[in-house]
Amino acid sequence: MILLDRITKIYPGSEEPVLDNVSLHIEPHEFVFLVGKSGAGKSTLIKMITKEEQPDSGKIIIGGIDLDYVKKRHIPHYRRRLGVVFQDYKLLPTRTVFENVAFALEIAGMSSREINRTVPKVLDLVGLESKSSRFPANLSGGERQRVAIARSVARQPKILIADEPTGNLDVLTRHEIIDLLKRINDFGTTLLVTTHDENIVNDLGKRVITLKAGKIVDDQKYNGVYRLDTADNSPIIAPRPQIIRTPAPVTPNRPTTSRTRSSRISKATAEESLKILHPTNKKPAAKTPTKATTAKSAPAKKLERDAANQWYAASRPLKAAPKLSDFSMGQTVKLKPAPSMTQVAKRKPTASATKTKTKRVI
């Protein structure tokens, strides 16, 4: 899904590289934390993925698309395949919550009918359906971040990048935002989150990549913890858990075995903890309604929230990305450019078109 191969970046006027021979591979559906001190290269790495900056050497492949072959005029279309959440929200202050989310869909060329059908589902997904008519100035910090997340996931991206999404929030609101991101990840979206919050990283136990002086010094694949400094600059390998095996009692009629039932159970539990769980499309078996269940029916808001979750989980997949083997050296990837604002305006019905035609009868 995300592949960085020996990326190096040196800004003009600087002798030290901000990214030094960085190689990174993130699988689909992963939840990855990117940690490091200020100036370690986290923001630059994010800008490489969103194509705001160009690497001096190396190759970047996102979703099967080689960014070396994406021309400048196709960059906006490429970025619409991603979702990006910023620390300072970047909301439009003169637009309501509904209009902020709708604006991202308007730029993508979505029709007005589809926008009016999609935005309520997105706001329901992030829990802001009752505040769609408010302006950003009338929202709390956590609510503004939820609007930013809603705007980013409105196009149902396969990759969501969050750059310090909890930096300006209190402790309780931070956990609410992380829980929302985790739920989006459970729907199948790949997440890359940069953060300085040690508690959140340790509580989730996801994959943690540590940057230091432009290099990856630690990559904890499973049950990662927040740590910045190492004894040397070599990657740290987490110690493997040791399973203590107790010898089985020897009986005269049963041969001795070195592998006991308790060790098999503990080994199976350890293997299950390493698997990445994905949501399944299997529907639960229908139960016959009883008087007790009909009397205690779920409230309407709960059903609406479930509908929003189902809508996002059933997102339409992106078109198949071109394979590198299909192109020769110097050939560009043909991406369909986004429609211009003039083309979008032509799609909207005019006032004359909506008038009913009358026929004069003599």
Average pLDDT over residues 336-341: 50
Q: What is the reported pLDDT for 167?
A: 83
Inform me whether the pLDDT recorded for 145 exceeds 60.
Answer: yes
Q: How far apart are the C-alpha atoms of 64 and 74, rounded to whole Å?
A: 16
Give SS3 for 213.
Answer: coil
Q: What is the reported pLDDT for 255?
A: 47
**Spacing of C-alpha 110 from chain mean position:** 22
Q: What is the reported pLDDT for 326?
A: 46
Q: How far apart are the C-alpha atoms of 198 and 207, rounded to whole Å?
A: 13
Q: What is the largest CA-CA distance in the chain?
A: 114
pLDDT in tens, 100-125: 999 989 888 888 999 999 999 999 99
Q: What is the reported pLDDT for 139?
A: 92
Q: What is the reported pLDDT for 343?
A: 58
Task: Provide the pLDDT confidence category of residue 185 given band limits of 50, 70 and 90.
Answer: very high
Q: How far apart are the C-alpha atoms of 160 and 164, rounded to whole Å?
A: 13
Inform me whether the pLDDT recorded for 328 exceeds 60.
Answer: no
All domains of the chain in start order, with CATH: 2-236+298-336 (3.40.50.300)
Q: Which residue has the higher pLDDT, 5 or 314?
A: 5
User: Residue 108 CB: number of other CB atoms within 10 A?
Assistant: 16
Q: What is the reported pLDDT for 90?
A: 86
- Least Cα distance to 155 among 193, 114, 98, 95 occurs for 114
Give CA separation, 62 vs 47, 77, 193, 214, 217, in Å.
13, 13, 16, 20, 23
Q: For residues 121 and 140, is the Cβ–Cβ distance under 8 A? A: no
Inform me whether the pLDDT recorded for 13 exceeds 80.
Answer: yes
pLDDT in tens, 252-303: 454 444 444 445 444 444 444 444 344 444 444 545 444 444 444 344 344 3
Average pLDDT over residues 59-66: 90
pLDDT more than 90, % of the chain? 41
Amino acid letter at 199? N
Inform me whether the pLDDT recorded for 315 exceeds 70.
Answer: no
pLDDT in tens, 190-245: 999 999 989 999 999 999 999 999 999 999 998 899 988 764 444 444 444 444 44
Give CA separation, 40 vs 20, 162, 207, 233, 350, in Å.
10, 17, 18, 13, 53
Average pLDDT over the chain, rounded to an integer: 75
Q: What is the reported pLDDT for 159?
A: 93
User: Residue 216 CB: number of other CB atoms within 10 A?
Assistant: 22
Q: How far apart are the C-alpha atoms of 62 and 3, rounded to whole Å?
A: 6
Q: What is the reported pLDDT for 310?
A: 61
Task: Provide the pLDDT confidence category of residue 36 given band limits of 50, 70 and 90.
Answer: very high
Q: What is the reported pLDDT for 281?
A: 44
Average pLDDT over residues 70-75: 89
CB contact set of 194 (below 8 Å; sequence gap of 6+): 33, 34, 35, 42, 43, 46, 162, 163, 164
pLDDT in tens, 169-178: 888 899 999 9
Average pLDDT over residues 166-188: 89
Task: Please state the pTM of the whole predicted model.
Answer: 0.65
Task: Provide the pLDDT confidence category of residue 48 given band limits of 50, 70 and 90.
Answer: very high
pLDDT more than 70, % of the chain? 63
